[in-house]
Amino acid sequence: MRDLLLLVFAALAACVIPLQAIINGRLGQVVANPFLAALISFFSGFAALVLVLLATTPGVPSLPPGTSFGKIPWHLFSGGVLGAVFVTTVLVLVPRIGAANVIAATIVGQLIMSVVIEHFGILGAPQSNVTLTKVAGCALLICGMLLIQRR
């Protein structure tokens, strides 16, 4: 039951992604520069996170004792760069091929990469072998993406 509730929460949280894609796509058109639009988008997200962090953390937010930025593995800082690649790509593509096509393609890409990551346990992800059922699920999502893009 707990897993079902978490899946519902994840699905509800994902409902903002098409809105974000359309908003960022329009922002890219308005400022006529995809990198500036991505920077504006990330700055607003940064400001929101600063406010949430300050509102939910007693005192001055800090790293746990014994931890420093120098002790954090370098690859763990790449999440922001990967987010910037994704957001910039989405805001460039949405005005060209539409939010539904972009979101369908990103879901397919995310799921296939997730299956590969879990199969090999990349970056410490829980290992879960590729199965025929998972391959069928990916194939059905690819079919769905192709059906969505048909006009």
User: 63: which DSSP letter?
Assistant: P
15: helix, strand or coil: coil
Tokens of 17: 């992604």
pLDDT of 10:
92
List average pLDDT for each run of 10 residues in the chain, which is 151 residues long. 90 92 94 95 96 92 90 92 94 94 95 96 95 97 94 71
123 Ramachandran zone, left/alpha/beta (phi>0; psi -120 to 50): left
pLDDT of 49:
95
pLDDT of 90:
93
pLDDT of 2:
85
